[in-house]
Amino acid sequence: MANSRYEYVKSFEVEDEVMPPNLMIVRIEGCNFDTFSDIHDLEKPNDEKALALMNSCAAAVLEEYPDIVFSYGFNDEYSFVFKRKTKFYQRRASKIMSLIVSFFSSVYATKWKEFFPHKEMKCPLSFLARLLCCASLEVLQAYLAWRQNECHIRNLHNTCLWMLIKSGKSAKEAVEVLQGTQKQEKNELLFQQFGINYRMLPEIFRQGSCIFMMQAEDVVKYDEHGNPIKRMRRRPRMIHNEHIAGQNFWNGQQYLLMELGPFENDIKKIKAAYVRSFLFENKLMPSTWIVIRIDGCHFHRFSEVHEFEKPNDQQALNLMNSCAVAVLEEFKDIVFSYGVSDEYSFILSKDSKFYQRQARPHQQSVQHMFLDAGQVRKE
């Protein structure tokens, strides 16, 4: 498109560069995860294999993208923190979001059999992502404290809920029993009715998992005398900690101090204004056309690995077209699409109210439907 009469079209692309010194976080979360877990009979309230799969995918993300230095996750969500001075994809929010969430989704589908060898994936799990800006380390610290607190609240509630259901109550009855109860009351319910000390449950359930990169010595080869030759390599490390936003934990990790900086104080209370900023969603203007364009990332490398026919592989093009058809069948607001090579553009009707015209769900729902269709049709 460069230096052509169509170059003006690039002016319609969203300018969404995250200006430094803002810190960037990408948070992904499962879409309709409750339905997915029911279909695949995942253990309630926590399935250790499913959590291990999420952690493995998060580690793969950190290994693939060196600019990500820390991640935290629980249940069906993961947050990825970029180093302070990153110039990853020119710090463009939409590019970064779509890249991280599509890579995570692909790894999840690829690794499924590794963790569930006797369970077929009946439908792919889609993920949504959002990129959050943190103006300072204090805001980042508040975000991490907020997510870990959410992990605790959800897990305590879900543990009580499912113990009540397993004891014979209906889902509606269990919800009614828990309605209005506080933390201490839920702890007492677990202990008195089921003999469960909540603090003795596995850390991965109560605290979530954090993965960050660290330098570790690795044997790269052996010399002619059989002596190991070692080099320092980046390796993901997973740990569980009760206070990931605390000074003691964070300031004890040398790699995080180098790439992000130290936390100056412990958080006593999360500011409501910070939480509101974490939940903010941009909306697109009414009565404007919405075009969503997706294109393959590192497609040349992908085509080399899979030995595609050059310059065009008919089967690969047919797969792209088939995925596009699946997107149009799923989303009635899409009225036209056009594709070439590894890209496709989808046009929504001018007066579409799809996802209340929120930009992020628009882009990612189409992207994931395309990816999911590719996984299904590939097999």
pLDDT of residue 368: 67
Q: Could you list the residue range(s) of the whole structural domain that residue 126 is in?
A: 15-152+203-208+274-279
Query: Which of 97, 57, 48 is CA-nearest to residue 75?
Result: 48
- 137-196 pLDDT per residue, tens: 999 999 999 999 999 999 999 999 999 999 999 999 999 999 999 999 999 999 999 999
The residue from 279, 310, 331 where one domain ends is 279
Dihedrals phi, psi of 351, to nearest 5 degrees: -100, 20
SS3 118: coil
pTM: 0.81
pLDDT of residue 8: 61
Q: Does some domain include residue 334?
A: yes
Q: Does some domain include residue 316?
A: yes
pLDDT of residue 359: 65
Q: Does some domain include residue 197?
A: no
The residue from 279, 310, 326 where one domain ends is 279
Query: Which of 33, 9, 18, 27 is CA-nearest to residue 70?
Result: 27
Number of structural domains (the chain) is: 2
Q: Which residues of the chain have pLDDT under 70?
A: 1-4, 6-14, 282-285, 287, 356, 359-364, 368, 372-379
Q: Does some domain include residue 332?
A: yes
Q: Does some domain include residue 187?
A: no
If you search the block for the tokens 């999420």, which residue do you land on? 54
pLDDT of residue 215: 75
Q: Pull the structure tokens for residue 70.
A: 């820390």
pLDDT of residue 3: 66
Q: Does some domain include residue 255?
A: no
- 337-372 pLDDT per residue, tens: 999 998 999 998 888 877 767 766 656 677 767 776
pLDDT of residue 361: 63
Ordered DSSP codes for 239-257: E--S-TTSHHHHTT-HHHH
